[in-house]
Amino acid sequence: MLIGDVARRSGVSARMLRHYDSLGLVRPTGRSEAGYREYSGADIRRIFHIESLRSLGLSLREVGRALDDPGFEPAELVDDLIRQTRERIAAETALLTRLRRIGAAEPAGWEDVIQIVALLQALGAQSAGTRQRAALSSADEVPVPAEALVEAVLSETDPNVAGALRWALARSGESGPALLAEGLGSPAAEVRKRAVQSLAEIPDEEATALLRDALTHSDTVVRRCAALALGARGAADAVPSLIDMVVEETHDADAADALSTLATDPALADRIATGLIDRLAPGTVDSSARRRLAQALAEVPGSTASRALADLSHDDDRAVALTATYILKLRAAR
């Protein structure tokens, strides 16, 4: 079969067949009287073998070894091809992500594209100062897409950079809360913590709804952070979790402050006082926890809290009684 016929049937161009010949990969079995290459059935099978191996990513040199070296072992080469393919996929995925983010920013011209690329590169820089400057500048005329900010804030370990990223994300006005919700489901505790801390700084209804959901999260750190954020937003849902924090002595001062803020709402003051009183029953918690609960009652207005403090001033636990007596004097002096 002449080279033109082989090219048509195999899909390999005549030029490539001549190249194979020059490399010694496929030498035609014979020549016609006119000197044209003639390929046998075995030659054509070898061409198909070559194309099959090339489809796996082997170089022509590696293809020649695979076909001609009896001692050639494919396992090591296949493992190497797997590694190279994974690296290539990772690089292509990173490029696709970058292009998608540039598109999401809706650049008006190439100057905008260049600025976005520079900011994306800076967010991934090794220098914390560079990352922080990128975060602070991301709210300029060409903002960084929320997806990039979320990825950065969920992986950031430097507290100053993380703060700048949370600020930028809160100002982005995009789909930050929905993206952060995925972070709440991360298997990594640090990522979950960063996600809820970021949600706490986004003052919109979507973030608030996600924080409410986080009150029942399996991660106690997530629950506590959500409770403090909701307390600052006046959400009554946070009251039970905040009282638990007082009892457990986990950010108890912050929790007591949040309860105090919520108690400025007359409709909540008695509910908060009752919740604290219920946990004060002797034998339910230790002495130090009862003392903290009494201290939390100090900033809760209303008669319910005052009556409870009056009763506590005669408590069998002297430390609790003294704490309640002191608080009553402060309340009387106001």
**Tens digits of pLDDT across the chain (334 residues):** 888 888 988 889 999 999 998 899 988 888 887 788 889 999 999 999 999 988 888 889 888 888 888 877 788 788 888 898 898 888 787 777 778 777 776 777 777 788 888 888 888 889 999 999 988 887 665 677 888 899 999 999 999 999 999 998 988 866 789 999 999 999 999 999 999 999 999 989 999 999 999 999 999 999 999 999 999 999 999 999 999 999 999 999 999 999 999 999 998 999 999 999 999 987 889 999 999 999 999 989 999 999 999 999 999 999 999 999 999 998 888 7
Sign of CA pseudo-dihedral 141, 146, 147, 149:
positive
Cα 226 to Cα 200: distance, rounded to the nearest angstrom: 7
Distance CA 167, CA 198 (A): 8
| Burial tier of 130 (Cβ tally within 10 Å: 0-12, 13-18, 19+) | middle
- Which among 167, 226, 168 has a CA at the least distance from the CA of 192? 226
How far apart (Å, rounded) are the C-alpha atoms in residues 240 and 67? 73
Among positive and negative, which fits the CA dihedral 9, 11, 14, 19?
negative
Phi-psi region of 216 (alpha: psi -120 to 50; beta: other; left: phi over 0): alpha
The letter for the amino acid at 321 is A
Query: Assign residue 301 a region: left if phi > 0, alpha if psi is -120 to 50, beta otherwise?
Result: beta
Residue count (the chain): 334
CA distance 110 to 130: 23
Q: What is the model's pLDDT at position 140?
A: 64
Axis-axis angle for helices 128-137, 110-123 (nearest 10): 140
* Termini Cα distance of the chain: 108
- HSE toward the beta carbon, residue 194, CA cutoff 13 A: 30
23 within 8 A of 65, measured Cβ to Cβ: no
Confidence (pTM): 0.70
CA distance linking residue 164 with residue 153, whole number of Å: 9
| Radius of gyration of the chain from its Cα atoms, rounded to whole angstroms | 35
H-run or E-run covering 192: helix 189-200
